[in-house]
């Protein structure tokens, strides 16, 4: 009887892990410090940075205490092209990411290109619109999973038919996203943006299934204030996809070290950065970072999960890391935009 209960618990636990992973499989990958990968959240923000080029390496571990957890890694690259006739400019971007989750080794791989146009409507207002398209692939492996149909009444028998029917363990599709963004500066600096991703792409792997990847809607906003030697920035993001909704609030403190040129656009000060993000009913994410002479930016944070999960004694979290480089072609200094 004890062995039977143990086997039943084992099967149920594996199935539950798969179901949790399967629910997450319908949702997109994410970063707590979402400003480090803007193309994943709003294509219109592509090119909104100092200098001409920006490249970012990204890595995130999440829920390490649940099965094998979630791992997301990749890179984001952006290029800014200024207009020869006015202050408007264009932004071009590329994002490559891979996410792997759970016992079923559910993987999401994407490579997408982004275009954005930035219109300087006044000295204080920048309006942007962006478009994104590319390829996304989702795959799953059933090796090592246990199903209730493989329980013969006495113990678990992996030779029994799992009675699950799938079209394929891999599915790819062309994805489309777009967004708009408004950046305002005067006495107060704030931003507002909206974007959407996916347009009815079918990703079902179940025989005769009609499931489609639901559209993801993202609302972004920020408010910042500059003091003599430091900046304060408040961030807010709400994104919704099908029945899942995420609310993420952040506070970032930046302290400037060194002086920038007062008479030219050459800016070479560094900055120490610290802050905190809070994902509603999910996790608290403290982070620290350092920006070296407006060229290299490193940021390290950790998710401290606050949500309770049944049958888990620990509260598994995960590290998040990013490293960015900003530069110019031919070592030319760029005008700081808006």
Distance from chain centroid for Cα 187 = 31
DSSP 57-107: EEEEEE-TTSTT-EEEEEEEEEEEEE-SSSS-EEEEEEEEEEEEETTTTEE
Query: What pLDDT was estimated at residue 120?
Result: 92
Q: Are 214 and 175 in contact (CB under 8 A)?
A: no
Query: What pLDDT was estimated at residue 302?
Result: 93
pLDDT in tens, 260-270: 766 556 678 89
Catalogue all structural domains in the chain, each as residue range(s) with its CATH number.
Answer: 2-331 (2.40.160.40)
Question: Rounded to an integer, what distance in angstroms lies between the CA atom of residue 115 and that of residue 219?
Answer: 19
Within the chain, which residues score under 70 in pLDDT?
Answer: 1-27, 63-69, 102-105, 141-154, 156-168, 200, 202-211, 261-266, 309-316, 330-338
Question: Rounded to an integer, what distance in angstroms lies between the CA atom of residue 72 and that of residue 31?
Answer: 9
Q: How far apart are the first and last CA of the chain?
A: 71
Query: At 102, phi and psi to the nearest 5?
Result: 70, 180
Q: How does the average pLDDT of the chain come out, rounded?
A: 80
Q: Which residues of 261-280 are buried (b: 16+ CB within 10 A; e: fewer)?
A: eeeeeebeeebebbbebbbe
């Amino acid at each position: 009887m004890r062995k039977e209960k143990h086997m039943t618990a084992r099967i149920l636990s594996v199935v539950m892990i798969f179901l949790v992973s399967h629910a997450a499989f319908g949702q997109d990958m994410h970063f707590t410090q979402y400003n480090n990968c803007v193309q994943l959240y709003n294509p219109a923000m592509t090119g909104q940075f100092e200098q001409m080029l920006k490249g970012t390496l990204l890595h995130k571990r999440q829920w390490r205490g649940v099965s094998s957890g979630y791992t997301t890694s990749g890179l984001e690259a952006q290029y800014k092209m200024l207009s020869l006739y006015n202050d408007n400019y264009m932004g071009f971007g590329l994002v490559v990411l891979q996410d792997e989750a759970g016992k079923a080794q559910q993987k999401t791989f994407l490579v997408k290109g982004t275009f954005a146009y930035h219109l300087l409507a006044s000295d204080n207002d920048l309006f942007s619109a962006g478009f994104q398209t590319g390829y996304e692939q989702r795959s799953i492996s059933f090796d090592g999973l246990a199903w209730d149909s493989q329980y013969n009444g006495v113990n678990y028998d992996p030779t029994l038919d799992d009675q699950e029917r799938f079209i394929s363990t891999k599915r790819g599709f062309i994805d489309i996203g777009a967004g708009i963004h408004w950046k305002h500066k005067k006495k107060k600096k704030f931003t507002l943006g909206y974007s959407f991703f996916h347009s009815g792409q079918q990703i079902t792997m179940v025989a005769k299934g009609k499931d489609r990847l639901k559209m993801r809607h993202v609302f972004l906003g920020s408010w910042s204030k500059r003091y003599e030697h430091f900046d304060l920035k408040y961030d807010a993001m709400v994104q919704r996809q099908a029945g899942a909704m995420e609310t993420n609030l952040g506070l970032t403190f930046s302290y400037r070290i060194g002086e920038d040129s007062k008479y030219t656009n050459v800016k070479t000060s560094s900055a120490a950065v610290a802050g905190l993000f809070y994902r509603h009913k999910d996790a608290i994410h403290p982070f620290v970072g350092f920006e070296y002479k407006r060229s290299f930016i490193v940021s390290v944070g950790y998710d401290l999960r606050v949500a309770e999960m049944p049958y888990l004694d620990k509260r598994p979290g995960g590290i998040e890391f990013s490293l960015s480089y900003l530069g110019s072609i031919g070592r030319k200094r760029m005008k700081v935009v808006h």
